[in-house]
Chains A and B, each alone.
Chain A
Amino acid sequence: MINLNINGRDIQAAPAANLLNVLRAEGVRVPTLCHLEGMTPTGACRLCVVEIEGQQRLAPSCALQVSEGMRVQTHSPRAVEARKTIVELLLADHPDDCLYCPRNHSCDLQDIAFELGVRQRRYHGAREFKPLDLSSPAMIREPDKCILCGRCVRVCEEIQSVSAIDFVGRGAKARVETAFEQGLNVSSCVYCGQCVRVCPTSALHEHSHAEQVMAALADPQKTVVIQHAPAVSVTIGEAFNVKGDCAPALTTALRRLGFDRVFDTAYSADLTVMEEAHELVHRVTTGGALPMMTSCSPAWIKFVETFYPHRLAHLSTCKSPQQMLGAVIKAIYAPAEGIAADDIVSVAVMPCTAKKFEAERPEMGRDGRADIDYVLTTRELIDLIRMRGLDLATLPGDEPDMPFGERSGAGKIFGASGGVMESAVRTAHQIIAGAPLPGQIFKAARGQALRKEAQIQVGEHQMGVAVVSSLGEARRLLEELDAGRDDLHFIEIMSCPGGCINGGGQPTGLDLKAIERRAAALYAVDKDAPLRTAHENPQIQALYAAHLGAPGGEISHALLHTHYAPRDILR
């Protein structure tokens, strides 16, 4: 340990520790707009500058190692004044439209400007009026709001290995752009939304479906059904200061918003496991493409279509839980309830921006109608709940609608990296060993690591399984496979680090602890669930008995499975 002094207080820190991390651990808050924990520091925004005794210049704490005897002043008049001036300069050409901005009240630039006491415009920069990029079905780029912090560029490159965007031009003309400055829809962007989640302003935000959903809710002719993904109910409470899972209050809130049926996507997560387990057994016994890779994460699908088209046969043909439930609602439920095809509106709340793109994929639907009409992100739903004057903290709980309100704990943990694998292992264990998995826990799949692997014994066969989150880690694994690795049979892949609980449609911000809390909440729901496995779900059994026949059957294939195609675009 080495000794240093922060604002007059002697403290100890690990040698070569990052100064910003040390400050944070000491409870000293230094603002930053570009820092991303665990990633290469760039010192781009300069907001974290501090005074170091004996050094003439202010130093960016995010890019500085502590050293023995270092004496740091974080809030000296000089440091604070420098920060304030930086923010004033950032605001010099920033649109003054906070009241109309999607990030009003959740904008880092706004918060920091307020904190630093910026109350008037001292600098007037020339405003450029750059066009919005509305080309993607998932998200919108608003270049006028960009402050060039580079978080999106780094997340896209370092975490996701996609690099759809980069800095273009130089000096005052520098901007974040796609290759050849074309729309996102023709770039290699996979719509994961990690850039949206880390953007400190509104330069990147989702393509909102809130207005269309409100219009549908106001139309008495329409029956509007909604499904919410497992990650949503363990996240949405954060906006209302409620801890843990909020599913019962969320159900009430959705009813009060006017939704006619409230369903749980964890139901179709159970359905997905039934289909996927069958598909895996089929592949193993008939010599199909192995390892089989999960297909629940639409950004991952687009990633394979774009970068690894020769691996498309390895993707499970199962649709994602959102699309499975969408298909079952429109093809089976609506006719059974006597709802005309034109009168049902199917909405999904997802922690994801890519789900908006998935819902619009032309292969998802039938007779010219999409299975899912609108997708709201967790953020959009929070806004709608607030707009309706509701507070999850005070709402009574309610039960979801049947039959698609019944779910197992295994379906619920789909929201975390490893959840799909664990659910599949529980069901496989029961089928093959004829007894439940001890404790219904598959420990190897749990935790926040980006890669988790295990060898499991299934009957006489040993099977290699891997759980991967983030597309960067997925790329590393695919490269291993391309290099000849052949010990894996089943791979779960989620596009966002940590899984859907850290999805691109989740509340913006960089709180890694929040991800752990959301995961803990999911596993707590599972632990207390009366049903722990997909195959035991009585409503799943009923669906097969009444409509689908057996997993992997003809009707399943028509409704619940799909196919993929290579994408010939700029990589």
Chain B
Amino acid sequence: MTDAVQAVLEGYPQARRDALIPILQAVQAKEGYLSTEAVIAVGQHLKLPTSKIYGVATFYNQFRLTPPGRHHVQVCRGTACHVKGSAAVLSGIQRALKIEPDQTSKDGEYSLEVVACIGACGLAPVVAIDGAFFGDVKAEDAAALLARAREMEVGDE
């Protein structure tokens, strides 16, 4: 168990099963995802079987079971984006990164998430990388867009 998980659990002494979701949220906020070790530690703390916690963690979209990449890519699949071709954008990004949604690329650079609507329908189809929005994205732009995300980071430094 990492110190971060330990600290979260210490904040919930004598907690019962109804504290499961707040604890998972707190762990994910600190570590970026729910590691196997964290799930086991939470189970021992709450005296809940690991299978139950894994069931809850996979039921809600908000929980990640893989570590996020250095750059987090969110592809909006809301209605407006769908109409404007976000399915093709998503598969373009999947091809470029060679990963499925909710996975992280082997080099740890990118993680991919599908979101329902990020509230920027005027820019549809929208992709958000590390919180920055890119509008009117086309499938063939995917590789260039991802490269730009890296450059932005270089620029920041």
A interface vs B, CB < 8 Å?
157, 162-170, 177-181, 187-188, 570-571
Known A-B contacts A179-B54, A180-B36, A571-B43; the reply to A169 vs B59 at CB < 8 A is yes
Cross-chain contact of A163 among B39, B40, B49 (Cβ < 8 A) = B49
Docked Cα-Cα span, A157 to B48, in Å, equals 11
Pairs A–B under 8 Å by Cβ, sample size 16: A162-B49, A163-B51, A164-B49, A164-B51, A167-B55, A168-B59, A169-B58, A177-B51, A179-B39, A180-B36, A180-B39, A181-B54, A188-B49, A188-B50, A571-B43, A571-B50
A-B contacts, CB under 8 A, total? 48
| Contact between A179 and B58, CB atoms less than 8 A apart | no
A178 contact set on B, CB distance < 8 A: 51
Contact bitstring B25-59, A, C-beta under 8 A = 1, else 0: 00000000000100110010000011111110011
| Contact between A168 and B43, CB atoms less than 8 A apart | no
Known A-B contacts A188-B49, A571-B49; the reply to A166 vs B43 at CB < 8 A is no
B52 contact set on A, CB distance < 8 A: 163, 166
Within 8 A of A (CB), among B92-144: none
A166 contact set on B, CB distance < 8 A: 49, 51-52, 54-55
Docked Cα-Cα span, A177 to B57, in Å, equals 13
| Contact between A168 and B50, CB atoms less than 8 A apart | no
Chain A's nearest CB lies how many Å from the CB of B149?
29
Nearest neighbor of B53 in chain A, beta-carbon distance: A179
Known A180-B54, A188-B50; 14 more pairs at CB < 8 Å? A164-B51, A166-B52, A168-B55, A168-B58, A170-B58, A170-B59, A177-B54, A177-B55, A179-B39, A179-B51, A179-B53, A570-B40, A571-B43, A571-B50
A169 contact set on B, CB distance < 8 A: 58-59
Docked Cα-Cα span, A170 to B55, in Å, equals 9
Known A-B contacts A570-B40, A571-B43; the reply to A168 vs B49 at CB < 8 A is no
Docked Cα-Cα span, A165 to B51, in Å, equals 6
Chain A's nearest CB lies how many Å from the CB of B98?
22
| Contact between A570 and B58, CB atoms less than 8 A apart | no
Q: Is chain B's binding surface mostly helix, strand, loop or mixed? A: helix
A187 contact set on B, CB distance < 8 A: 51
B interface vs A, CB < 8 Å?
36, 39-40, 43, 49-55, 58-60
Nearest neighbor of B44 in chain A, beta-carbon distance: A571
The 7 closest A-B pairs by CB, nearest first: A163-B49, A179-B50, A166-B55, A166-B51, A179-B51, A179-B54, A570-B50
A170 contact set on B, CB distance < 8 A: 58-60
Chain A's nearest CB lies how many Å from the CB of B138?
28
Docked Cα-Cα span, A177 to B40, in Å, equals 16
Kindly name the residue among B43, B49, B58, B60 whose own CB sees the greatest number of chain A CB atoms within 10 A.
B49
Kindly name the residue among B49, B51, B54 whose own CB sees the greatest number of chain A CB atoms within 10 A.
B51
B50 contact set on A, CB distance < 8 A: 179-180, 188, 570-571
Docked Cα-Cα span, A157 to B51, in Å, equals 10
Chain A's nearest CB lies how many Å from the CB of B59?
5
Kindly name the residue among B53, B54, B60 whose own CB sees the greatest number of chain A CB atoms within 10 A.
B54
Docked Cα-Cα span, A169 to B55, in Å, equals 7
B39 contact set on A, CB distance < 8 A: 179-180
Docked Cα-Cα span, A188 to B60, in Å, equals 24
Chain B's nearest CB lies how many Å from the CB of A191?
16
Nearest neighbor of B43 in chain A, beta-carbon distance: A571
Nearest neighbor of A173 in chain B, beta-carbon distance: B58
Docked Cα-Cα span, A287 to B52, in Å, equals 40
Chain A's nearest CB lies how many Å from the CB of B137?
26
Chain B's nearest CB lies how many Å from the CB of A118?
31
A188 contact set on B, CB distance < 8 A: 49-51
Docked Cα-Cα span, A167 to B52, in Å, equals 8
A177 contact set on B, CB distance < 8 A: 51, 54-55
Chain A's nearest CB lies how many Å from the CB of B118?
21
Known A-B contacts A166-B54, A168-B54, A571-B43; the reply to A179 vs B49 at CB < 8 A is yes
Nearest neighbor of B47 in chain A, beta-carbon distance: A571
Docked Cα-Cα span, A180 to B27, in Å, equals 18
Chain B's nearest CB lies how many Å from the CB of A174?
8
Docked Cα-Cα span, A165 to B36, in Å, equals 16
Docked Cα-Cα span, A180 to B65, in Å, equals 9
